[in-house]
């Protein structure tokens, strides 16, 4: 980033956002439904974000449609990003949360923010813009930032309360010099058809660089039984174990923000202590640190890269209940990192609330990055998720996913 480019970006941003905020503030009465949270002393009262320029949008179907929709170069506030977790809001729009994001707000120089958000629907695809042009989950004062992992939407009529589970991180992903410190929850109020408002950001637990510390919120799912299920991942930091184990917690939508209400699956029953949580998928041959859990026709599936992001296969583990027992993984395709040595393919994520290409199909995104900084500088589009379709129940497959990488 060239000297002064961030200042120019913020100046340009301010001009764009001013018009959007004027309309948002005029509708302040619509936000009364969540004011009890603001009165509780949360650290971000009435921090209203804006929506960027409307880019024409028609909701795609399946991987082919989403590969076309992933052409984000038309918006300077989101030209490249990874992660890309998604959820459908109560008003029908799709919300997408991304990790480290490239921008060219002044049209010439690239800048980056730790995370970003996109809302697509009602004929528009819009980037969510904080007042300072920064990350939608603001960094802590010590510089620690946040990478999204999963999203929980709690409807209130056509309005939504959205919780983004994130991994707090110190360091630089693009230099591959970073350390994860534990999970966090960022909560937003999203009135129907409007931009999100940041309500709170809460770190869960003390900072810990140990991969053995369970990171809750690595995946999340509505069980359809009155409970939200939250999944935690951990790695034992042992030689030659690259995967992450999985544990399960549950709570109700009304008590999601109260972590003391969470219950943990012991393998036999639910307990109040997180220390009693049992592994439902082991680290040996396990999942990536961030993964997906979803249900199709009453069967539950965990989806991830087999044996962590250094593995080669996209796999699913299936179970009769959200807490398991999960069977052995089945490969549904290959995501090797050696097809093109400069391109990394990692963190496959399922999008069960997107329009699927057919019955028992699942849309999956695969994040991409490069070991060569010149590749991203010359072609920022490389740093975008690539979409594929898989069929459930899965059958073993050797097809290589993302052949264009």
Kindly state whether residues 182 and 220 are assigned to the same domain: no
Tokens in use for 405?
A: 């990488």
Dihedral sign for Cα atoms in the order 183, 189, 194, 195: negative
- What is the pLDDT, as a whole number, of residue 174? 52
Kindly state whether residues 177 and 225 are assigned to the same domain: no
State residue 147 phi and psi, 5-degree precision. -110, 125
- What is the pLDDT, as a whole number, of residue 322? 97
Q: Are 104 and 79 in contact (CB under 8 A)?
A: yes
User: Which residue segment(s) compose the domain that 304 sits in?
Assistant: 210-405
Among residues 160, 185, 202, which one ends one of the domains?
202
Kindly state whether residues 275 and 196 are assigned to the same domain: no
Kindly state whether residues 241 and 372 are assigned to the same domain: yes
Kindly state whether residues 239 and 283 are assigned to the same domain: yes
Q: How wide is the angle at C-alpha 361 spanned by C-alphas 215 and 338, nearest 5°?
A: 60
Kindly state whether residues 229 and 367 are assigned to the same domain: yes
- Residue-wise burial string across 198-220, b where 16 or more C-beta atoms lie within 10 A, e elsewhere: bbbbebbbeeeeebebbbbbbbb
- What is the pLDDT, as a whole number, of residue 339? 63
Kindly state whether residues 150 and 27 are assigned to the same domain: yes
State the alpha helices, DSSP H only, in 31-104.
Answer: 35-39, 62-69
Among residues 202, 235, 265, which one ends one of the domains?
202
Kindly state whether residues 162 and 243 are assigned to the same domain: no
Kindly state whether residues 13 and 96 are assigned to the same domain: yes
Kindly state whether residues 274 and 388 are assigned to the same domain: yes
DSSP 5: H
Kindly state whether residues 231 and 133 are assigned to the same domain: no
Kindly state whether residues 236 and 155 are assigned to the same domain: no
What's the rounded Cα separation, in Å, for the pair 332 and 393?
A: 10
Among residues 181, 202, 223, which one ends one of the domains?
202
Count of structural domains, the chain: 2
What's the rounded Cα separation, in Å, for the pair 204 and 211?
A: 15
- What is the pLDDT, as a whole number, of residue 29? 30
What's the rounded Cα separation, in Å, for the pair 294 and 173?
A: 28
H or E element, residue 292? strand 292-296
Q: How wide is the angle at C-alpha 51 spanned by C-alphas 169 and 368, nearest 5°?
A: 40
pLDDT in tens, the chain (405 residues): 333 323 323 332 232 233 232 223 222 233 333 333 333 334 445 578 999 999 989 999 999 999 888 765 578 899 889 999 999 999 999 999 999 998 888 877 888 899 999 999 999 999 999 988 899 999 999 999 999 999 999 999 999 999 999 999 997 655 556 788 999 999 999 999 999 999 999 999 999 999 999 999 999 999 999 999 999 999 998 888 999 999 999 999 999 999 999 999 999 999 999 999 999 999 999 999 999 999 999 999 999 999 998 888 999 999 999 999 999 999 998 887 766 667 888 999 999 999 999 888 999 999 988 877 777 777 777 888 999 999 887 666 666 776 555
């Amino acid at each position: 980033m060239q000297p002064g480019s961030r200042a120019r970006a913020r100046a340009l941003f301010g001009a764009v956002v001013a018009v959007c905020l004027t309309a948002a503030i005029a509708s302040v009465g619509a936000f009364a439904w969540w004011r009890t949270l603001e009165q509780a002393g949360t650290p971000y009262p009435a921090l209203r974000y804006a929506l960027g320029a409307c880019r024409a949008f028609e909701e795609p179907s399946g991987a082919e449609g989403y590969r076309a929709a992933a052409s984000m170069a038309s918006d300077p506030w989101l030209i490249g990003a990874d992660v890309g977790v998604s959820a459908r809001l109560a008003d029908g729009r799709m919300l997408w949360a991304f990790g480290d994001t490239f921008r060219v707000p002044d049209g010439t120089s690239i800048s980056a923010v730790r995370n970003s958000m996109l809302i697509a629907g009602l004929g528009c695809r819009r980037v969510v813009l904080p007042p300072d042009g920064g990350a939608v989950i603001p960094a802590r004062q010590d510089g620690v930032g946040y990478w999204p992992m999963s999203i929980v939407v709690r409807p209130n009529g056509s309005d939504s309360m959205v919780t983004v589970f994130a991994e707090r991180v110190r360091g630089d992903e693009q230099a591959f010099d970073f350390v994860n410190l534990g999970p966090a929850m960022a909560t937003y109020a999203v009135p129907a058809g409007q931009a999100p408002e940041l309500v709170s950001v809460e770190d869960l637990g003390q900072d810990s660089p140990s991969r053995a510390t369970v990171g809750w919120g690595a995946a999340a799912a509505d069980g359809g039984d009155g409970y939200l299920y939250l999944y935690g991942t951990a790695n034992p930091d042992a030689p030659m174990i690259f995967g992450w184990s999985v544990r399960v917690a549950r709570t109700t939508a009304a008590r999601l923000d109260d972590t003391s209400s969470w219950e943990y699956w012991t393998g036999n029953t639910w307990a109040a202590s997180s220390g009693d949580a049992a592994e439902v998928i082991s680290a040996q041959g396990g999942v990536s640190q961030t993964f997906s859990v979803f249900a199709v026709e009453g069967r539950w599936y965990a989806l991830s890269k087999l044996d962590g992001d250094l593995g080669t296969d996209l796999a699913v583990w299936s179970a009769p209940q959200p807490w398991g027992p999960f069977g052995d993984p089945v490969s549904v395709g290959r995501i090797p990192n050696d097809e093109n040595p400069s391109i990394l393919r990692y963190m496959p994520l399922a999008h069960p609330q997107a329009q699927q290409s057919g019955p028992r199909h699942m849309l999956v995104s695969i994040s991409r990055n490069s070991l060569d900084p010149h590749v991203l500088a010359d072609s920022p589009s490389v740093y975008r998720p690539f979409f594929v379709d898989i069929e459930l129940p899965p059958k073993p497959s050797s097809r290589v996913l993302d052949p264009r990488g």
